[in-house]
Amino acid sequence: MSDIDISRPHEWDHTHADVSSGWLRASVFGAMDGLVSNVGLIAGIAAAGAPAPVVMLTGVSGLIAGAISMALGEYTSVRTSNEQLSKELQTEQAAHLRNPVGEQAELASLFERLGMERGTAADAAEQVHANSESAIKVHLSQELGLSFDDQPSPMVAAVSSFFSFSIGALIPIIPFFFGFGNLWWGLIFGGAGLLLAGGLAAFSTGRNWFAGAFRQLTFGAVAVVATFTIGKLLGVDALG
């Protein structure tokens, strides 16, 4: 223990997952969306009386269209968020040029809210403002909870969502590729995929894997019931 530098706890005491790159959220959301949407899609089209080849074609079309839509949506969303952050950075930079004294006093007040004594807060704000670039970043962090240095990559988010959605959407139509596809098999594969995806997502965040798996299966079941009911209302039973 004597050889450990306690001032650097991230080197020996604990570590943090990378939550800023954008790939984790995009991957989890993409996989879940692919599973739920395509399970619901094939349930609806099969319940409407479509034969297996049509169900498979519909599932493949849903996979392609959904994956592209997810990728474009994630790219646009993350890029817009980054552009908004850049705008806020410019706003803060302009404020520092117009009123540096007021900005320093504002930071001192923010430090006081964090529990610093008034004198300590004033000294800390003065030291931070000795470097204008660092001061602006601290203001963004304290005022808005934003970090300009940890912006997620739009491209990473787009690629992650594209492939994760594709994988998720592929699972319920796998039986159709091997010639034993019907609605029941699609639901079984889709349900297994939902349980696995939900469990893995929960496990990766330290939550109960069973609860996460069951929650995701429930979400998928809601989609299946909704779309299947529409098909049944058309007067066709596709489970035979």
Q: What is the mean pLDDT of each run of 10 residues along the chain (240 residues)?
A: 52 50 67 90 87 91 94 91 83 83 86 86 87 82 71 86 93 90 88 88 79 88 89 60
DSSP state of 22: S
Angle between helix 183-204 and helix 52-98 axes, rounded to 10 deg: 30
| CA angle 98–101–103, rounded 5-degree value | 75
Total number of domains in the chain: 1
- Predicted confidence at residue 199, as pLDDT, reads 85
88's tokens:
């806020």
Q: What is the span of the domain harbouring residue 124? A: 22-232
Q: Which residues, 6 or more positions from 129, have their beta carbon under 8 angstroms from its beta carbon?
A: 100, 103, 104, 107, 135
CA-wise closest residue to 105 among 91, 119, 122, 124: 122
Q: What is the pLDDT of residue 238?
A: 45
Confirm whether 195 is domain-assigned.
Answer: yes
Residue 133 has a pLDDT of 81
pLDDT of residue 110: 84
Are 239 and 220 in contact by the 8 Å Cβ rule? The answer is no
Per-residue model confidence (pLDDT) at position 12: 47
Q: Is the pTM of this model over 0.85?
A: no
User: What is d(CA 29, CA 164) in angstroms, rounded to the nearest whole number?
Assistant: 8
Q: Residue 115: what are its φ and ψ, rounded to 5°?
A: 115, 0
Residue 221 lies in a domain: yes
In a domain, 54, yes or no: yes
pLDDT at 87: 84
Does residue 100 lie in a domain region? Answer: yes
